[in-house]
Structure 1
Amino acid sequence: MTVVIGLVGVVLGGLIGAVTSYVTNRSSMLIQLEHSYDVTLRDKRLERYQVLFHLSECIPRSWQPGAEPTRARLLEFRKTFHDWYFGADAGGMFLTRASKTCYLNLQNALIDVSRLDATGTPSAEPLEEAESRLVRHLASELRHQLAEDVGASHPPRLRWSRVDRTVEGPEPTTVPDR
């Protein structure tokens, strides 16, 4: 009887060990797979976002005096952004929900301020100050969101400490005023 109890204990212990190993390894592998997916997505997103960030320079925070774009030019900017979104690199596919909202708001504003007539030609009128401010604000919001998405707007997560001085010496002194 003692032998049977010992044998049952060994078999039961082995089964519990195998189940525990399976659950632990499976969880670890899932975390590792998710992490590698996130890293790959981040790298692809970073490449696409850099291009879009660069394209957005056509709508700066403020126009240079005399360099305000025409409504037709804003329509060209809209096409440039559209081509980035649906281009061969499929930049739009990598936008986060927040970035996509900012992107679409900018696209909609560019269409609205272009004031297309019945033939699809933009109005020849200059931009009003409120329209200009709106477009520039939306472009700025998009750039800020892109930086937020890739983590460029956050401080580093690793804490760095200042390295001690190599050579102990006298403290620096101030230069007297002359």
Structure 2
Amino acid sequence: MTAIIALTGAIIGAVVGTIATYLTSRSNMRLTLEHSYDQTMQGKRLERYQELFHVSRRLPRYWPPTEEQPKRTDLQQYIEEFHDWYFSENAGGMFLTPASMDIYMKLLNALAEAAFKDESVPDGQAGPTLSDAESQTLRHLAAELRRQLAQDVGAANPPRLRWTRPNPQPPLPSISSRR
């Protein structure tokens, strides 16, 4: 009788152990595959986002004083550059996150609206140069896109490991203590 109890206990232990090993291995494999996919996607996204970040230089946060604001005809060229990035051989647009895609489309719509504005408007609102409001809108959207791109690839976040964070810089001594 004790042999039967021992044999039953061994069989039950083996079955429970097998099930536990299966479930643990399956979860571990799934996490490993998801992590591998995320790393690959992050690497590809970083490459494409660097290209888009470079294309967006046409719309800086502030126009340098030595450079004049773009004309409406220049905006058509900018639209083409954004379009080329989106549909290039590298398929940059395919890697945009939903948040980045939303801002990207808003920027392209604003570019198209400003670039193709009817210059024959009787009230003289549309001329060859951009209005201050149009310029500000375009620059704001481009800056927002760059910010979102940096956030998508994790460049906007501090290091996650505490020991990798730099120590705060010590305060500068006051001028009176130097004398």
Instruction: Tell me which interval the TM-score lies in, with the shorter structure as reference length.
Output: 0.7 to 0.9
Structure 2 stretches lacking a partner, 5+ long:
119-125, 166-174
Give the residue type in structure 1 aligned to 2:2.
Answer: T
Give the residue type in structure 1 aligned to 2:62.
Answer: S
- State the match for 1:168 in structure 2: none
The change in CA–CA distance for 1:111 and 1:12 in structure 2 (over 3 A counts) is same
Give the residue type in structure 1 aligned to 2:58.
Answer: C
- State the match for 2:23 in structure 1: 23
- State the match for 1:112 in structure 2: 113
Cα offset for 1:58?
0.8
Give the residue type in structure 2 aligned to 1:160.
Answer: W
Give the residue type in structure 1 aligned to 2:92.
Answer: G
Cα offset for 1:125?
2.2
Pair 1:43 & 2:55 matched:
no
Pick the aligned partner of 1:136 from 136, 139, 145: 139
Report the 3-state secondary structure (helix = DSSP H, G, I; strand = E; otherwise coil) of the residue aligned with 2:162: coil
Cα-to-partner distance string for 1:128-154 (whole Å, 9 max, x where unaligned) = 100000000000000000000011111
Report the 3-state secondary structure (helix = DSSP H, G, I; strand = E; otherwise coil) of the residue aligned with 1:160: helix
In the alignment of these two chains, the number of paired residues is 164
1:95-174 alignment runs, 5 A limit: 95-116=96-117, 125-160=128-163
Looking at structure 2, the residues matched to 148 and 177 of structure 1 have their Cα atoms a distance apart, in angstroms, of: 43
Moved over 4 A (4+): 174-178
Give the residue type in structure 1 aligned to 2:132.
Answer: E
Structure 1 stretches lacking a partner, 5+ long:
118-122, 163-173
1:53-68 alignment runs, 5 A limit: 53-65=53-65, 66-68=67-69
Cα offset for 1:69?
0.5
Cα-to-partner distance string for 1:2-60 (whole Å, 9 max, x where unaligned) = 22221111111100000000000110110011001000000000000001001111111
Looking at structure 2, the residues matched to 177 and 15 of structure 1 have their Cα atoms a distance apart, in angstroms, of: 78
Pair 1:75 & 2:76 matched:
yes
Looking at structure 2, the residues matched to 2 and 34 of structure 1 have their Cα atoms a distance apart, in angstroms, of: 48
- State the match for 2:13 in structure 1: 13
Give the residue type in structure 1 aligned to 2:59.
Answer: I
Looking at structure 2, the residues matched to 33 and 177 of structure 1 have their Cα atoms a distance apart, in angstroms, of: 60
Looking at structure 1, the residues matched to 37 and 85 of structure 2 have their Cα atoms a distance apart, in angstroms, of: 23
The change in CA–CA distance for 1:149 and 1:18 in structure 2 (over 3 A counts) is same
Cα offset for 1:63?
1.5
Give the residue type in structure 2 aligned to 1:85.
Answer: Y
Looking at structure 2, the residues matched to 101 and 39 of structure 1 have their Cα atoms a distance apart, in angstroms, of: 23
Looking at structure 2, the residues matched to 176 and 26 of structure 1 have their Cα atoms a distance apart, in angstroms, of: 66
Cα offset for 1:158?
0.7
Looking at structure 2, the residues matched to 176 and 93 of structure 1 have their Cα atoms a distance apart, in angstroms, of: 59
% identity of equivalent residues: 52
